[in-house]
Amino acid sequence: MQEITTGHFYLRKNKFFIFLLFSFIFLLFPLVSFSQTEVRIQTSERTFANTPVGIIVFVRYPAVNVYLDVELNYGDGTSEISTCVIGPYSVRRECSVSFSHTYSNSGNYTITASVRLTDTGAVVGSDSFSIQVEEWNPPSPPPSPPGTGGSGSGISSITDINPISATTFGEILDRIATALFFMAIFITPFLIAVGGFLMSSGIPSRIIMGKRIILIASAIFGVVALFKLVTSLTVDIIK
């Protein structure tokens, strides 16, 4: 009888350490990068001459604590260099740089982004984007209604307020998946530890409850991790 009790104790103890090992693996899961080096230019396909146009360059690099020089050639004989940093605790290993440029003449221009390592100068990626610049022909203002004295229409300007910086549906899904993934990272190991503690108590009802907690926590984390993986791979596909 003593040998059976001792065997059950060691079995519960080994299960507890196995679940602790899985929780440690879950904590290391975000450190695995699914993406390779990627450079992506995001801006409008059409703009007007003598009007500033915003350009964002996204850089994804499979390393952390890296300084990257982003050189943007606007295609009209001018260029600009800015630096982005992928911090030591970056999960997505991604940084972005914002530029603004004004084209003086209309025409088709090719914007080229080249990314180099700041310390070595080695080129790690590039991207190009075609933009069409048109002449701005403002419409004639409508005639003032009688009695207004030419004071204008009285319509105030409207500011576009966008709390989410994402511009496509795929990026919105990826931001949601990232938030859920971070929540699961902190909650899942805690639930697994609680479940393991209940299973090590030796009380049948607590053992069953501990198993349910661990299974549910593991299943939810798996679904969230799969959702995050799918959105990361399809962020540039879903528009």
Read off the DSSP letter of residue 142: P
Name beta bridge partners: 143.
none
What pLDDT was estimated at residue 9? Answer: 45
CA distance 93 to 58: 11
CA distance 218 to 23: 9
pTM of the model: 0.47
Residue whose structure tokens are 């576009």? 160
CA distance 40 to 17: 44
What pLDDT was estimated at residue 147? Answer: 54
Residue whose structure tokens are 């499979």? 62
DSSP-derived 3-state class of residue 138: coil
Mean pLDDT split into 10-residue runs, the chain, 239 residues: 47 56 54 66 88 90 87 92 86 86 91 92 90 81 61 48 62 83 88 87 86 90 86 72
Which one-letter amino acid corresponds to residue 52?
P
CATH 2.40.10.120 fits 34-136, yes or no: no
What pLDDT was estimated at residue 163? Answer: 55
Domain positions in the chain: 2-32+176-234, 34-136
Put the strands of the sheet holding 52-60 in their side by side order.
38-42, 52-60, 94-102
What pLDDT was estimated at residue 232? Answer: 78
3-state helix, strand, coil in the chain (%, to 5): 40, 25, 35
Neighbours of 218 (CB within 10 A): 18
CA distance 62 to 60: 7
Q: Which of 180, 199, 208, 182 is nearest to 20 (CA)?
A: 199
CA distance 111 to 94: 21
Q: Which of 214, 217, 223 is nearest to 12 (CA)?
A: 214
In degrees, rounded to 5, the angle at the alpha carbon of residue 225 between the alpha carbons of residues 222 and 230 is: 125
Residue whose structure tokens are 């020089």? 69
Query: Parallel, antiparallel, or unpaired: how do β-strands 107-117 and 66-73 relate?
Result: antiparallel
Q: Which residues of 126-152 are buried (b: 16+ CB within 10 A; e: fewer)?
A: ebebebebeeeeeeeeeeeeeeeeeee
